[in-house]
Amino acid sequence: MTTGRDISFFFSPKSIAVVGASPTPGKHSHVILENLKRIGYPGATYLVNPNYASIDGSKCYSSLNAIQDEIDVALFVLPAPIVIEIMERTENVKGAIIVSAGFKETGYAGTKLEEELKKIGERKGIRIIGPNCLGIYDSVSRIDTFFTPEERVRRPKRGGLSILTQSGSFAELIMDEMASKDIGVARIVSYGNRVDVGETDCLNFLMDDEATKVVVIYMESVDDGRRFVEVASRCTKKKPVVVVKVGKREAGVHAARSHTGAISGRYEIYKAAFKKAGIVEVDGFEGLKDACKVLNTYELVDGKKVLIVTDGGGVGVSMADACENFGLEVRKLTEETRKRLSSKLLGFSATGNPIDLTGSVTDEDYVVALEEGLRDAFDVVIVTVLWGAPEITEGLADKLKEVRDSYNKPILICSPSCAFTRRMAQCFEDNGMPVFFTPESAARAAAVLAGHWR
């Protein structure tokens, strides 16, 4: 890529200026200042507001140009027309994050302002994130430009997940969700109206970003279709990219004169693009949560054969149904394996796939079932644990972990039920095994690993 498209400085800024800084608690710009402090942003923070000499004991500058320093990132929290005025005058800014709303999303006048903003950015060589966005949350470089108070939307710990989104509300939702699930996040970028920086430039950066292990994209539309496919294709060779596409009903070819044109809604073409690029598509918010959870622990697998081990017949069958629905293959065990299993397990256990260990199960039965079942070359395993079976213990988590590590196969736990079960789920989570609370969500997550989501 040309250096002109490089946006890495946004994720390691030596200086951040908050333009429109306010001393009033609760104001967006004040929340941002507090968040930058709380996360411990290590660079220089400059406050800009001609109406104050200082805010909270820090010097306040009358303008960006009054700062005797190169500003890597200028954060704009001001009415749209004023943003344009300041951008026009500024001389020392490399990148801008424009939090302000009042642009294209508001209609004709706003659209004109946005066009002007784009031109200014291009003319001055200032890269722009936004407008109408939350900007960047970065646990690696310790940046938090979100104007949401931390006590209302919790921030996730540092980890390998990076999230790109047009929607700010989505950024908040997933952020809070990841924090509550204790899933670590590297970088979140909310680019709103996307006048300049979008998913393609971000992906181009995240592709070689060592802190990022998995990329998640919430997409309403694509910024630059062909280039996105090209960049994403390279990225998916290095790390998984998961996408949630919303706005699926958008019509395709306008006034089509062929069946092909009439059938090809935009979504069909998006789907084709995701396939081309090797992107794993998930459906909706639930799908995304499951994907984040499973990819936080496991890498993608090469096939779609799933082994199901359960201690409840009904849940096992519904698990098998869910797996088939999500495009996984629930293949029967070989005759040889079945024979070996029958000789090692209680007489009334079912030795197909699912392997049903019944309510008389012990911790050791799970181990036997897995060790024998895995001889049949499965790609991914779902273990259903219903805690109603009286003989299983907390020690099960350790045992399953051992099997997983020695066979090197991803094991997903499905443990549907309430209070006691939820408490026991912690044993698995502590052992680094993701727990899902419905057969559908476990199957969906396994399908993500198999990359065979439809």
Partner 1 sequence: MKKEEAKKLVSNALAQGRHVLLEPEAKALVSAWGIQVPNSVRIKEIEDVAVALKAVTPPLVLKVVSQDIIHKRDVGGVITGIDDREELSKALREMKETLAEKAPAARIEGFLVEKMVPTGIELIIGGVRDPQFGPAVMFGTGGFAVELVKDVSFRLAPLSRAEVFEMMREVKSYPLLTGFRGSKPVDLEKLASTVLKLSKILLEIEAIKEIEINPLLVCDVGAVAVDARVVLQ
Shortest separation between residue 241's beta carbon and partner 1, angstroms: 16
Q: Are 146 and 123 in contact (CB under 8 A)?
A: no
Shortest separation between residue 199's beta carbon and partner 1, angstroms: 12
- Which residues contact partner 1 by CB under 8 A? 221-222, 224-226, 229, 252-253, 256-264, 266, 268-273, 275-276
In the complex with partner 1, which residue's Cβ is closer, 436 or 453?
453
Residue 342 belongs to what H/E stretch? helix 335-344
Shortest separation between residue 203's beta carbon and partner 1, angstroms: 16
Shortest separation between residue 221's beta carbon and partner 1, angstroms: 8
Chain CA centroid to CA 421, Å: 27
Shortest separation between residue 104's beta carbon and partner 1, angstroms: 18
In the complex with partner 1, which residue's Cβ is closer, 154 or 266?
266
HSE, side-chain direction, 13 A CA sphere, residue 350: 17
Q: 394: which residues sit within 8 A by CB, 6+ positions away?
A: 424, 427
In the complex with partner 1, which residue's Cβ is closer, 38 or 275?
275
In the complex with partner 1, which residue's Cβ is closer, 289 or 304?
304
In the complex with partner 1, which residue's Cβ is closer, 184 or 327?
327
Q: 358: which residues sit within 8 A by CB, 6+ positions away?
A: 311, 312, 313, 346, 348, 349, 350, 389
Measured CA to CA, the distance from residue 87 to residue 75 in angstroms comes to: 11
In the complex with partner 1, which residue's Cβ is closer, 181 or 271?
271
Strands, E, within 149-298: which ranges? 158-165, 185-190, 214-219, 241-245, 280-282
Shortest separation between residue 10's beta carbon and partner 1, angstroms: 25
Question: Quick one: DSSP state of residue 181?
Answer: T
Q: Are 359 and 384 in contact (CB under 8 A)?
A: no
Strands, E, within 357-440: which ranges? 380-384, 411-414, 435-436
Six token digits for residue 29: 């710009």
Question: Quick one: DSSP state of residue 14?
Answer: S
Shortest separation between residue 225's beta carbon and partner 1, angstroms: 3
In the complex with partner 1, which residue's Cβ is closer, 52 or 267?
267
